Amino acid sequence: MAHQKYTGAPNTSPLSATLRAIEQQATTELKHAALGYARGRVKLLRWAGRPVSATSARELVDDVYADTWAGDLPWDPSQCSLLEHFRQAIKQRTWLEIRHANRISFVPLPDAANEEAMPDRLVSEEVEQALAVIVSDRCAPSRWLAMLEATCRELRARIDCAEAAALVQCWADGVTERHAARDITGLTDTAYARARKRLFYAGRNLSAELREFAYDLLRDAS
């Protein structure tokens, strides 16, 4: 797929200090974390009706790296880490594609019945059973994004837990898959399960519409 490219300042060769910083920070771990973030963003593109492939996430990461190295995508190491720069660039490019989507038809949210069963033993059976009975609705891309923003905002106002807040931030950035969210947050299995459980109980105080949307996210994050 052809991703939206950076359209700001013209190409200028990065300073030698910037090139050294890229070499130092572009580790395997960074690229793995960036790939996890890109996979979450590609899922948003798919829901928005944009054509994606099995290599779309990898292409996003590779394009950002190449454009940063070439100077087409300026990066100031004193302002943010290379990983944060990657996330910002990936987020910008995928948002541009969503905004320019040609198809405004309805697309389905993930159906838990089709997800591979990966029960979290650390979360109570009550939580899992409650999530299992929620049926995914159909939602236009713009509507889905508005629901995502509203759900994250309301959950933040109802939680006092750094782990749960970190997971909500992943959702706000379009990252909902368990493994990608764990890569970004650094949460252990126990901490991740605790955050998910807190968000389940916080979600009970949301409006019916946002509650069902939050539970869709929690199922996807299982």
What pLDDT score was predicted for residue 106?
36
Measured distance CA(116)–CA(70) in Å, rounded: 41
Looking at the whole model, is its pTM more than 0.85? no
Q: So what's the pLDDT on residue 142?
A: 59
The answer to whether residue 3 sits within a structural domain is no
| Tens-digit pLDDT profile for residues 18-44 | 999 999 999 999 999 999 888 888 887
SS3 65: helix
User: Domain check: are 171 and 134 in the same one?
Assistant: yes
Q: Establish if 158 belongs to a structural domain.
A: yes
**Cβ(110)–Cβ(216) below 8 Å:** yes
Whether residue 166 contacts residue 187, with contact meaning beta carbons closer than 8 Å, is answered with yes
pLDDT tens-place string over residues 98-135: 666 543 433 343 443 333 343 444 344 444 444 444 43
Cα–Cα distance, 154 to 156 (Å, whole number): 5
Domain region containing 183: 107-220
Instruction: Tell me: pLDDT of 151 over 70.
Output: yes
What pLDDT, in 10s, does the model give residues 178-187? 777 888 888 8
Rounded CA separation 56/1 (Å): 7
Residues 120 and 209 in one domain: yes
Tokens standing for residue 36: 């996890």
Question: What is the pLDDT of the chain when averaged over all its residues?
Answer: 76
Choosing from 66, 99, 132, the residue where a domain stops is 99
81 and 138 inside one domain: no
In the DSSP assignment, the letter for residue 112 is G
- 165 lies in the same domain as 118: yes
